[in-house]
Amino acid sequence: MSTAVATDRFDLTKPIGTELRGVKLNQLDEAGITEIKELVAERGVLFFREQDMTLAEQVALGRRLGELHVHPAAGAPEGFPEVLVVHTDAKSKRTAGEGWHSDVSCDERPPALSMLRVETTPSVGGDTLFASMYEAYESLSEPIRQFLTPLKAVHSGDLYRNLYEAAGAEKKFPESEHPVVRTHPVTGRKVLYVNSGFTRRIVGLGSRESRAILDMLFDHIAYSVKGQVRFRWEPNSVALWDNRCVQHHASWDYFPDTRHGYRVTTVGERPYQ
Ligand code: SIN
């Protein structure tokens, strides 16, 4: 495995994104799993082609990466509660993940790794974009970095309100406070940790102040093109990303075609400054 990563590694940009060729994810040994976890923390997102596997194999692989997360969305395949089905077709009113976000950052222990395998690709489009939050943090000016460093922000799962209500759960949608700048537990690097999908306000600021700062940061993330990479899917491609240091954005530019895939996600640690 070490050899595979060293010899079949193709960085797509300097700050983010590496394609690994010649690696069969579900045949990795323990050293290979460790190496993949370290590499994804460094590069933000890894891409793999031709990863034909069953749902059971994808779940087993996910478990080797960490404790698996169960998403509030209904529709997990029977027997696989940890699998999130990502499906869009001509009848869809929305598509999952259209907008910059870090998966389920409203959780107290938000996701670490997400592994998406797309089985059915549209005739054109359907790419996923990824943005490095190392780069987003490092490209802010020093005075803004200093201002943001002690702050916390509220991340809310309000967009899941209907999902919780439909499930008849007592549980309210999750809401958590996380540091605006967190330290990545594997690399020790600083990361900008706010996202337009879930972050609603900065604690201790007035509502207009908070809105203005968050809008500035969301613009900074969206416009920092040099910290982004865009992945073109083929059937059975896999993207493995680290939600602690990247955000992603699905592109729904293929209507009315169908795109279908499966995601498993690991639970991360409580973010710390
Ligand atoms: C998501 O996990 O947010 C969906 C990403 C995608 O469908 O490309």
CB 235 within 8 A of CB 119: yes
Domain boundaries, the chain: 64-267
Cβ of residue 121 lying under 6 Å from some atom of ligand 1: no
The per-residue DSSP string of 167-193 comes to TT-SSPPPEEEEESEEE-TTT--EEE-
What is the residue with the minimal CA distance to atom 7 of ligand 1? 250
The residue among 234, 209, 257 whose CA lies nearest residue 118 is: 234
Rg (C-alpha) for the chain, rounded Å, is: 18
Please state the atom number of ligand 1 nearest to the C-alpha of residue 86: 7
d(CA 217, CA 213): 6
Mutation test of ligand 1: which of 263, 264, 265 has the most ligand atoms closer than 8 Å to its C-beta?
Answer: 263
Cβ of residue 97 lying under 6 Å from some atom of ligand 1: yes
Q: What was the pLDDT predicted at 38?
A: 97
Cβ of residue 96 lying under 6 Å from some atom of ligand 1: yes
* CATH no. of 64-267: 3.60.130.10
d(CA 163, CA 76): 13
Q: What was the pLDDT predicted at 235?
A: 98
Please state the atom number of ligand 1 nearest to the C-alpha of residue 239: 8
**CA atoms within 13 Å, Cβ hemisphere of 29:** 6
In the reported structure, the alpha carbon of residue 267 is separated from the centroid of ligand 1 by a whole-number distance in angstroms of 17
Q: What was the pLDDT predicted at 160?
A: 76
Q: What was the pLDDT predicted at 73?
A: 76
Quick check: is 182 catalytic?
A: no
What is the residue with the minimal CA distance to atom 3 of ligand 1? 97
Set 103, 117, 184, 242: catalytic member? 103
In the reported structure, the alpha carbon of residue 161 is separated from the centroid of ligand 1 by a whole-number distance in angstroms of 19
Quick check: is 263 catalytic?
A: yes
Cβ of residue 128 lying under 6 Å from some atom of ligand 1: yes
d(CA 193, CA 236): 30
Cβ of residue 116 lying under 6 Å from some atom of ligand 1: yes
**Tens place of pLDDT per residue across the chain (273 aa):** 555 565 699 999 999 999 999 999 999 999 999 999 999 999 999 999 999 999 999 999 999 999 999 987 778 899 999 999 999 999 999 898 999 999 999 999 999 999 999 999 999 999 999 999 999 999 999 999 999 999 999 999 988 777 666 666 556 788 999 999 999 999 999 999 999 999 999 999 999 999 999 999 999 999 999 999 999 999 999 999 999 999 999 999 999 999 999 999 999 999 999
Helices (H), the chain: 2-7, 30-43, 55-65, 133-138, 142-148, 161-166, 207-223
d(CA 192, CA 218): 10
Which distant-in-sequence residues (6+ apart) come within 8 Å of 76 by Cβ?
70, 82, 83, 84, 85
Q: Which amino acid is at 62?
A: G
Q: What was the pLDDT predicted at 171?
A: 62
In the reported structure, the alpha carbon of residue 130 is separated from the centroid of ligand 1 by a whole-number distance in angstroms of 10
Q: What is the pTM of this model?
A: 0.95
Quick check: is 145 catalytic?
A: no
Set 101, 117, 178, 244: catalytic member? 101
Q: The tokens 């958590």 sit on which residue?
A: 176
CB 230 within 8 A of CB 90: no
Cβ of residue 263 lying under 6 Å from some atom of ligand 1: yes
Q: What was the pLDDT predicted at 159?
A: 81
